[in-house]
Structure 1
């Protein structure tokens, strides 16, 4: 029983393949790349392989079909779950507007003729600042370049070579429906050292203290450890709006909600359970996604491969475009997926060997040849 997976020779650029005896957990060989032809040639020169445990990569599937056509292929369960997680994150990103709690109904009051829409004005300035960042311009340029080559019928590997980008970078832009899908995570912002001090800044700003240097000194005395530049940049849209809106509770991050959906309900704490319940109540598409994930998890853990076709049909009956791409991949690799959800074997020992290879590479400080790496991996058992 042979396990196969890739490992980085030079991360983002060149990769090799490790072959492992799944029964003993021992490495069998290292290959210089992760191409289908290389793997097929190895299998042909080492006849007798009956089972191949692999990830979802097409190259290893093609190589096994060519080099050992009679072998049973088993799609690794961890990789199946990992693939599903990626599509769940895309689904959450698609419905990220549902993550924020709706604003409370405002108390009616007399209209002010020259009342400024503070939220809209501040949001417009923040959007302008976001678009002016270098990485945003680069992302838009890269997306346009990748999509142009994709329209010409070129694949990810060819585009990677032409543009000189990492394969994962090209895949991200290649598969994104719009550039906004790529920018969504950056647009929602990262945790900032300023977050805990924003209510105080808003309060002081609205009573007339608008000097950035003074506000920087005040929050520094209250424990702020960031730079003055961050404070000045945050105050800019408030000045444009004329006053500071009441700080709204931040919406949970896309990755956070994705993690909640992918976690067993009994392993979420009470706060996370409540937050997820509220999101699913106001977002039927995400509620459906959570139901499908729970079904797949049960099938995966309890190895009920006999439920696979029914699960695929249930997902495809819903309006779930991202999960439809996942089920399309399952159909294309149906026999291996069915075996992965039925057989007890997995690629866990292969992943362990990949980690061992990383350790050996670190010990050699990246200065050794592939031949020496291969000898150290195979002989130091």
Structure 2
């Protein structure tokens, strides 16, 4: 098979090639006797000049290909034509281009499907290295696809600049392709777009009322559904609110279960109940939010509106609304706080009864649910030893024993289960 057939450039004839420094260089020309003027379409054979065009083409076996195309300039035979001289052209290469059309098509696809940095990496892998600026420029100069009317339309907001400026993105949900971008999140913009695109059957959207009213006004026959993400958000919000409202009952059930585990531990260890030292219950401390919670409940009983309650107590209306839905204030769980205090009684028992070294105690409480660092545990255990006057004896063989500990979980985490 000849090289011209392999390259698949039917309008270009390759007359020479050489390979040097991991690069394949091809020399070609357009095998025609003349060309037509692009302005007046008059055919001419009179050559005015010759020059070389240097172009990049698709790589071959990971080796870059450089095409040197010998091009002729012709004189126009039409004396009335304003263009006196013109260059011969070929459909495989655009005017003034430095790459073949087929290579440009691949680069355009990479630029549109990825970002500038990833495009730079991919083009380097296919032996056509380009800079991030070039990839960004190719994306900006690419032709926009034709806007069509989908059967299932997805509507959501998107950020031109996060936290500053937002618009609306329209997606064909059957192909997961972006159809159009609107400059704002206002319903008026969506109404104008929907009026130009009849025939939409289903619209998936977020919880924004502006989108819902726009679709209902322009396409009342279209079925509106919440998208998968916002359905899960609705479910999560409902479960979170429910678990907050019954947090007191959940805590009572967990405490009852904890007492059963303590009784089981006493039976297994045969220790008198007087020797079981239970750590202080932090839930007995006063929550500073409790006073505000009670005040909100009192003002609600007097039929105060949420805005006035928020202004009187110096809190947000969202907080007032949240408190109004709860019967009891759920305990606050600090995500970054360590739970070492929950193991105080267990640590004292092990030091007094078993004689563990600190290292062994830390290993045991980690297996039982301790979520802090080893340094925090060392400081806490040493503090207990100083307060209780306990001296740790030599290490001896021990076995893991059950501990009545139930790790607390917030209402938000429970809603995600």
Structure-1-length-normalised TM-score: 0.40
Structure-2-length-normalised TM-score: 0.38
Structure number with greater CO (CA < 8 Å, separation at least 6) is 1
Is the helix fraction higher in 1 or 2? 1
Larger radius of gyration: 2
